[in-house]
């Protein structure tokens, strides 16, 4: 999904490219398609790549806003500013922030999903559960390694639930 979204701003000016599809094992059409794009759009290649990278940079900025907001919610305004500074100058974020790939979108959507899940644990509602599920689905569309999130969420929900005796024995006033 992240690569497809990054390609959307390129569509109006992209040249026609023959896909040259082959069903043989190990065939990777993206290398040939990339060469065709570089050859057919040689004058517009750099502006097209810049458009795609702007979409990639959006994910890093979205994650930065989420880091700031979540940290400010937990530790106050200065905690949010510190978390934002740490996120913004972290070498991996600087390296992958403008690359059209699945890592930064997965980080941003995974962060949003985890934030939504912690809010859901504090105030469980159907809308909260639906939002967590939607964000988890978007995260899985970004990168399959986020499949670890449901496992972590189940463990966290089991850890955060009230003890069994509190559910069976009514509170004595």
For 96-111, how does the pLDDT look when each residue is reduced to its tens digit (9 = 90+)?
Answer: 888 888 899 999 999 9
pLDDT at 109: 95
Residues 6 or more apart in contact with residue 86 via CB below 8 angstroms:
none
147 contacts 106 by C-beta, under 8 angstroms: no
pTM above 0.85, yes or no: no
DSSP string for residues in 92-110: HHHHHTTS-SSHHHHHHHH
Task: For residues 113 and 43, give the distance between their C-alpha atoms in angstroms, rounded to a whole number.
Answer: 40
For 78-93, how does the pLDDT look when each residue is reduced to its tens digit (9 = 90+)?
Answer: 999 999 999 999 999 9
Percent of the chain with pLDDT over 70: 90
69 contacts 80 by C-beta, under 8 angstroms: yes
For 147-159, how does the pLDDT look when each residue is reduced to its tens digit (9 = 90+)?
Answer: 999 999 888 888 7
pLDDT at 171: 52
H or E element at residue 121 = helix 103-122
Considering only CA atoms, which of 92, 90, 91, 70 is closest in space to residue 81? 70
For 107-147, how does the pLDDT look when each residue is reduced to its tens digit (9 = 90+)?
Answer: 999 999 999 999 988 888 899 899 999 999 999 999 999 99
The per-residue pLDDT of the chain, averaged, comes to 84
pLDDT at 170 over 60: no
């Amino acid at each position: 999904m992240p690569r497809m979204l990054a390609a959307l701003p390129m569509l109006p000016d992209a040249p026609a490219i023959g896909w040259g599809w082959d069903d043989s094992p190990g065939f990777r059409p993206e290398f040939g398609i990339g060469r065709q794009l570089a050859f057919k759009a040689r004058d517009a290649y750099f502006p097209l790549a810049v458009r795609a990278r702007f979409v990639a940079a959006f994910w890093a900025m979205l994650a930065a806003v989420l880091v700031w907001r979540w940290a400010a919610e937990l530790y106050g305004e200065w905690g949010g500013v510190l978390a934002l500074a740490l996120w913004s100058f972290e070498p991996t974020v600087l390296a992958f922030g403008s690359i059209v790939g699945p890592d930064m979108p997965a980080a941003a959507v995974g962060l949003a999903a985890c934030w939504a899940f912690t809010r859901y644990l504090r105030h469980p509602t159907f809308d909260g559960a639906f939002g967590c599920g939607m964000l988890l689905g978007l995260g899985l569309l970004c990168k399959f390694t986020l499949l670890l999130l449901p496992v972590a969420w189940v463990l966290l929900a089991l850890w955060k639930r009230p003890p069994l005796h509190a559910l069976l024995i009514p509170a004595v006033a």
